[in-house]
Structure 1
Amino acid sequence: MTKILYIGKHPEILQTVVRLINSDENWFGIGAQDEQEAIELFSKYDFSIVLFGCGLDKETEDSLTAFFKKANPKILVIEHFGGGSGLLKNEILSALSQ
C-alpha cells in the first residue's frame, strides 16, 4: 500500500484530494493543513509520497522538503495544484515509476 501525505491550506480541496487518493485501493492518503500537523503525521506513518497543494509558500515547502528528505531520502515530493482527478493520478503514478 502506497501511503501519501497531502499538505494544503484549503480544507475543501484537502478533503477532495484525500478522497481521490483513497479512491484507489492501492493508496492510503491523509491530509494536513499546516506544517506542524504534516510533521506529526510524517513521524507516525511511512509515507512514500508527499504532495504539496495550494496555499503553501515557497519557504514552507522548502523547509518541509528538507525535513522529509532528511528523515527519508527516498521520499517523493510532488507539487499538485489542481487539474482534476486524472492529473492527480498521473502525477502519483509518474512519481512512483521513477
Structure 2
Amino acid sequence: MDKIQILVIGRNPEIVQTVVRLINNNPAWNATFALTDEEAIKHFESQSFNLVLLGGGIEPESDSLLRHEFITRNPNITIIQHYGGGSGLLATEINMALATQ
C-alpha cells in the first residue's frame, strides 16, 4: 500500500520539524515540509499529495494564496489547519481529514 503523502507548511522550523517527525512516526504516512510559500508551491507541483497541513503562523495573505494555488492545481485536495497540540490531536486531525476524502 502506498503511503499517504502530506505536505506540511509552517513558518517556525523547529515546530515544523516536530510535526513532520510526528507524522513520519506513522508507518502509513510520509510528510514533506515547506517553510515558504514558494517552496510549498514547488513541492505541490512536483509531488502528489493526499493532504496539505497548514501550520500556525502563516499570514492570512499566504493562507489564501496557498489554498487558491493548491485547489486550482487539484480541486480534490484536502487542506487542514493545524494550530498545535499534542501528537494525539495531530493524528486525529489527519485521520478525520482522510476519512472525508
What's the TM-score, normalizing by structure 1?
0.97
Unaligned runs of 5+ in 1: none
RMSD: 0.6
Report % sequence identity. Answer: 46
Q: Give the paired residue count.
A: 98
Unaligned runs of 5+ in 2: none
Amino acid at match of 2:36: D
What's the TM-score, normalizing by structure 2?
0.95
Aligned mate of 2:20, from 13, 18, 28: 18
Distance 1:61 1:50 in 2: 12
1:87 deviates by: 0.4
Aligned residue runs from structure 1 range 36-75, under 5 A: 36-75=38-77
